[in-house]
Structures are given as C-alpha cells and as structure tokens.
Amino acid sequence: MSLASAWAVALHGVDGMLVEIEAHIGPGLPGLQMVGLPDTALSEARDRVRAAVLNSGERWPPRRMTLALSPATLPKGGSSYDLALACALLAAAGRVPAQRLHGLVLIGELALDGRLRQVRGVLPAVLAARQVGIGEVVVPSASLAEACLVDGVRVHGATCLKEVLSWLRDPGGAGLARPGPPRPAPPAAVPDLGDVLEQGDARWAVEVAAAGGHHLLLTGPPGTGKTMLAQRMVGLLPALTDQEALEVTAVHSVAGLLAPETPLITVPPFVAPHHTSSVAALVGGGSGLAKPGAVSRAHRGVLFLDEVAEFGPRSLEALRTPLEDGEVRLARRDGVVRYPARCQLVLAANPCPCAPPDERDCTCAPSARRRYLGRLSGPLLDRVDLRVLMRPVKDMGQADAEPESTATVRERVLQARAAARARWTGTGWSTNAEVPGPVLRRRFRLPRAVTEPIAAALHRGMVTARGADRTLRLAWTVADLAGRDRPLVEDVSVAMGLRDRRAA
C-alpha cells in the first residue's frame, strides 16, 4: 500500500484539535516532504523519524514520500507528532497494518535511537481525542499516569517505537503498558492561620475573600504578616472538584509542570511570581503560540503579587481583562490561544518606598508616597474587592487567647461556599465573585433600604458602577458567613467598609 493515515492532536492553549497525518509513497527521487504548516520543531521531525525508524530495525523506504498534516490551514508545532508520522510512513510502506491506525491517536517525541520521549499537553490532547469519539491512545510510558486521568479512553504506554510497531502488528502479543491504579499525591503541608500574630481585621478579610472568591489588597509595613496571610489563604479554600482538577491539571500539563507519577492537581494552586516578571510571564506569551502565564497557572487558586508596587505598570494593567473575564486570550502570529484564568488575586504592598516599622519614622516626601501606591491604577484597584490596612505587630504571642486555626476558619468558609453554591445551582457559577452585577440587581434584587449605603456612595462618586456591583457581591458573602439567606443593611455597610479606598 502506498497511502495510509494516522491521527495526532494539535494544541492551541488547552484546546485540542485532531490532525490527520496522511503518508503517501510514490515514484520520484528518494526524499521526504512535509506539508501542512509545520513549525521548525515539526519540520525537523523528518530527521528524528528517519533515525528512529532505522535504529528500530526497520527499513527506510527508498522512494519519494509525502506527509500531509490536515487540516492544512491549521498551524502545527512541537514534537508530539513524531510517533504518528513514523507509524503513518511505515503503514504506507506496508510494514504495519494500516487498518490498525484507524481510531487510534499516537502521541510522543522520538529520540534518534527510537526511544519515546515525554511531551507537554498529553492530558488536553487525550481530552480532545475523547471529544471526537476516538477511544484508544498511545502515549510515552512517562505520560501514562497523566493520560489515564481521562475516563472513557483506552490508554497504552510505550517506551520506544519498536514496542509500538510490534503491538500494531500483533495486538494479541505482549502488548503495551497499561495504567495501574492511580497514586494519590502526598498531602501538601499547609501553613496554619494560627501562626499569624494579631491582625484581626486582616484575618477577617482573608476569610471573607476565601468564602466568596474575592480579590484582596493588603497594605502595611514590613513584618505585619502580609505574605503569611496570603500563603495561608490556600488552606481555607475547598478541594477542587473533578472538573476543576482536570482544568487546572490541563494548564499545568501544557506548561510542563506536572509530577510524572502523581499528575492530578486536587488542591488549589498558589502562584507567587517575582516583581520583575514580564507581561508574558504574568498573562502568557512566547513566540509562535503563547504559553500559559502565572495568572493561568493560578487558575482555581491564588495568584499572589508581593511588593505589587514594584511590578511594572504594563504587567499590572495586563491583568485587568483576565480578572474580569476569567480567561486569557492571546493573539500571536500562529493564531489565538485561550487559557482559563479564574483565580483569586492577592496583592501586598508597603505604604511607601522606605517602609519603616513605624510610619512616624517615614523619610519619604509626600509626593513619593503618592507616586508609590499610585502605580496601582484606579481601574485595577476597582477590580479588588477588599482592601485592608495592616498595623505593626505589638504583641509577640503572649496573649491568653489563641488565634483561630486554619481548620476552624476553613469550616466557616466551606459552609459559606456551600450556601453560595446552592444559591447559584444551574447558573454555572459557584462563588459570589463570579455572579454578574445585572443578576444581583434584577433576579436577586435587595430592598432599597438595604442597598441605600451603596446608592449614596454611587451618587457622591465614591464608588464606580463596577465597584457598586462588587460591593453587592461582597455583601452576599458577608451574609453567607453569618448564616443569613439574604444580606441585611449591616452586611452592606460591612462590605462598604472592606472596599474603602482610604485603606489603600
């Protein structure tokens, strides 16, 4: 046979599209031509595939060979096509049964000696195969645990091209590796909220933020516990649902950050980029098709920007759209990619550049203090629901009352989240922070007497329309923590106080 085809998957962000690899062997000068918009890494596959085929004990067809990757208009890149390219060529040459490649997706990079190497994005690739009805996938053995996270697909693992060819020729023979029982990831050590000294207002704000999925700004001198509170916020969040775990794991798979043996991420991630991070590092970027940035790696978790006033203005402003939409859309030369980015943003900042323990010792000019926090633009701060001014610690833990532990606060947070989830059942939202303002103002409209503080602030120009909606969401969270079905006027007043700009 001179014509055969195999299946691979092209990834654009976390979205996969099936690619048919057609191999044709015909008359003409010996050589291999590849068509279908391959990038540099994929164009170099012809040399990797040839060496892998020869070193696996197979003959390289001494004829004119053409590989077509369809759809032809879809840009394709990376080395995950190698295995499918090799199998399609050998099927066209009659070395393996071409019918065995029907309904089978092949993923993996080939080494020159025929070994099968691990590639990024195996999980979203298998999800894409299942979505179009393909029920069998071959992946590198190192990616077997990741691929078997997808139900409804038979997954096989191989260490080299020779194993795959033997299995294609004799399905009843030794066969390929099959996934064993999943190994749970070891429990991560979570620092306890009881370690934070004093800071009752800030601890309360962290609890409210965790309960409703709200963004938070902590301002105060060094040593007040801003970083400690941010790190302990993850311990208050509920474990990821099965769907959320797959979403987060898919992003980390594309980024190449998964543990080989325990790839499934079941706890909310905590991502803390350095203040020198570029726009591409924060929201995603790179040549060709963009890679996920910190805001996407923190999907369903916490993105912590410490020393936020030291970040570049362009980097901070690039966060505005992802925070509002819950996803990142990046247009590059090879197309548009989409990454989920529904995370909780926690910002920490000193009140001024010199940041003394006591603000009375500040040596900064008033203009310098204004410029410092003025780097946080109004539109960005308008998307931050809670703002807390932290005071220097005056007690070294000698007080009789023990601060509440993470377990105690987490129980209240989980109860509040359960109440919100029950309220928004069937809408696609699970936290108060996700609910659009028009829904709160119409379907869940509160009496005028309850919303009077917001209306008055809006009339005096103290809040924007977006800020008014966020205050409403915050009031619902305060009510959930108090065990009430609907907010009262005191809940709205508390929400207004938590959003007070003067705290920043």
pLDDT at residue 503 above 50? no
- Quote the CA–CA distance of 233 and 191 in Å, as a whole number: 9
291 confidence band (pLDDT: 50, 70, 90): confident
Angstrom distances, CA of residue 357 to CA of 199, 226, 348, 381: 15, 14, 16, 25
pLDDT at residue 282 above 90? yes
Asked whether residue 117 is assigned to any structural domain, the reply reads yes
Q: Which two tokens stand for residue 423?
A: 């309220």
User: What pLDDT is attached to residue 421?
Assistant: 95
Section 177-202 average pLDDT: 79
The domain that holds 144 is classified in CATH as 3.30.230.10
Asked whether residue 181 is assigned to any structural domain, the reply reads no
pLDDT at residue 316 above 80? yes
pLDDT at residue 399 above 60? no
415 confidence band (pLDDT: 50, 70, 90): very high
Same domain, 113 and 223: no
User: What pLDDT is attached to residue 501?
Assistant: 44
Count CB atoms within 10 A of the CB of residue 94: 13
Residue with tokens 């009789």: 400
Average pLDDT of the residues of the chain: 90
pLDDT at residue 268 above 70? yes
List the one residue out of 174, 131, 180 whose CA is nearest residue 155: 180
pLDDT at residue 231 above 80? yes
Residue with tokens 């190192």: 142
pLDDT at residue 273 above 80? yes
Asked whether residue 177 is assigned to any structural domain, the reply reads no
Same domain, 379 and 440: no
Give the residue from 134, 169, 204 where a domain finishes.
169
Same domain, 337 and 239: yes
Higher pLDDT, 437 or 295: 295
55-113 confidence digits (pLDDT tens): 999 999 999 999 999 999 888 888 999 999 999 999 999 999 999 999 999 999 999 99
222 confidence band (pLDDT: 50, 70, 90): confident
Give the residue from 412, 428, 444 where a domain finishes.
428
Q: What is the largest CA-CA distance in the chain?
A: 89
User: What pLDDT is attached to residue 398?
Assistant: 53
List the one residue out of 444, 433, 437 whose CA is nearest residue 477: 433
Say how many domains are in the chain: 3
Which of 106-110, 457-461, 490-494 is predicted with the least confidence, judged by mean pLDDT? 457-461
User: What pLDDT is attached to residue 397?
Assistant: 59
The domain that holds 224 is classified in CATH as 3.40.50.300
Same domain, 221 and 247: yes
Sign of the Cα torsion 447, 453, 458, 460 reads positive
pLDDT at residue 52 above 80? yes
Is 258 within 8 Å of 248 (Cβ atoms)?
Answer: no
Number of Cα atoms under 13 Å in the Cβ half of residue 84: 31
Same domain, 376 and 303: yes
Higher pLDDT, 326 or 374: 326
40 by DSSP, 3-state: which?
helix
| Domain containing residue 262 | 193-394+402-428
pLDDT at residue 220 above 60? yes
Q: Which two tokens stand for residue 203?
A: 């601890």
164 class by beta-carbon count within 10 Å (0-12 exposed, 13-18 middle, 19+ buried): buried
Higher pLDDT, 125 or 333: 125
Number of Cα atoms under 13 Å in the Cβ half of residue 330: 31
Angstrom distances, CA of residue 24 to CA of 21, 65, 69: 10, 6, 12
84 by DSSP, 3-state: which?
helix
pLDDT at residue 333 above 80? no
12-42 confidence digits (pLDDT tens): 889 999 999 999 999 888 989 999 988 888 8
